Chain A
Amino acid sequence: AQKVTQAQTEISVVEKEDVTLDCVYETRDTTYYLFWYKQPPSGELVFLIRRNSFDEQNEISGRYSWNFQKSTSSFNFTITASQVVDSAVYFCALINTGFQKLVFGTGTRLLVSP
């Protein structure tokens, strides 16, 4: 069975602080894909990143960075110098190559105050 755990229900930070959102996953498959999505107050999920299980290189995109560690089954997401516009619910998700279901974590609500 596949499972994604986002233990942090809600995180509050002040603008310009760095923040890390944790994601731990469980799967028996050797080939799988991990995703992060952002859900702003408007409700629409916005795709942020897709990473396959064979690529453990960390990735940086502007203020966003992702740390994928197969040894700990984690795919953590860090926002550097947070901004108020980063306030949203962030979801981590997992899918295996057999498809057919994208398994979501319960999400982490990030509140960035000015």
Chain B
Amino acid sequence: DGGITQSPKYLFRKEGQNVTLSCEQNLNHDAMYWYRQDPGQGLRLIYYSQIVNDFQKGDIAEGYSVSREKKESFPLTVTSAQKNPTAFYLCASSIVSGTYEQYFGPGTRLTVT
């Protein structure tokens, strides 16, 4: 089955620790994205990547970092510099970047205390 995998579903960390969220896709999509969702709000773009070894900041990149070493993988690191990291994080991919529909993974709910 083709799709997007995010792990783990729930993640708990202490304040001051960096944490990396996994995102893997086997859809052969070139573009991948990370979004953050807070209660009662829409999705906000953190980072996106149109091709391997290249990525761009979205609207709320501060405190986050990404890498794109393989087409299938786009991990997101939430650093200790992110002031309010507790949120629901969604990874997505699309055929190419642009106007094509994006397909989403199941999400990771991160809680930092």
Which residues of A are interface residues toward B (Cβ below 8 A)? 4, 9, 32-33, 35, 37, 42-47, 50, 52, 91, 95-97, 99-102, 104-107
Binds A, one of B14-22, B41-49, B63-71: B41-49
Does B106 have its Cβ within 8 Å of any Cβ on chain A?
yes
Determine which of B33, B42, B98, B104 lies in contact with A44 in the assembled complex, contact meaning CB atoms within 8 Å.
Answer: B104
- B-side interface residues, number (CB < 8 Å): 26
User: Contact: B45 with A91, CB < 8 Å?
Assistant: no
User: Contact: A42 with B40, CB < 8 Å?
Assistant: no
| 8 A-B residue pairings within 8 Å (CB atoms) | A43-B88, A43-B106, A44-B107, A47-B103, A91-B43, A96-B99, A100-B97, A102-B102
Interface residues of B in 82-108 (CB under 8 A from A): 88, 90, 92, 97-107
Determine which of B88, B98, B106, B107 lies in contact with A99 in the assembled complex, contact meaning CB atoms within 8 Å.
Answer: B98
CB distance from A61 to the nearest CB of B (A): 14
Q: Which residue of A lies closest to B56 (CB)?
A: A100
Determine which of A4, A9, A95 lies in contact with B99 in the assembled complex, contact meaning CB atoms within 8 Å.
Answer: A95
**Given A43-B88, A102-B45, A106-B41, does the pair A97, B99 have CB atoms closer than 8 Å?**
yes
Cα of A32 to Cα of B104 in the assembled complex, Å: 21
CB distance from B48 to the nearest CB of A (A): 7
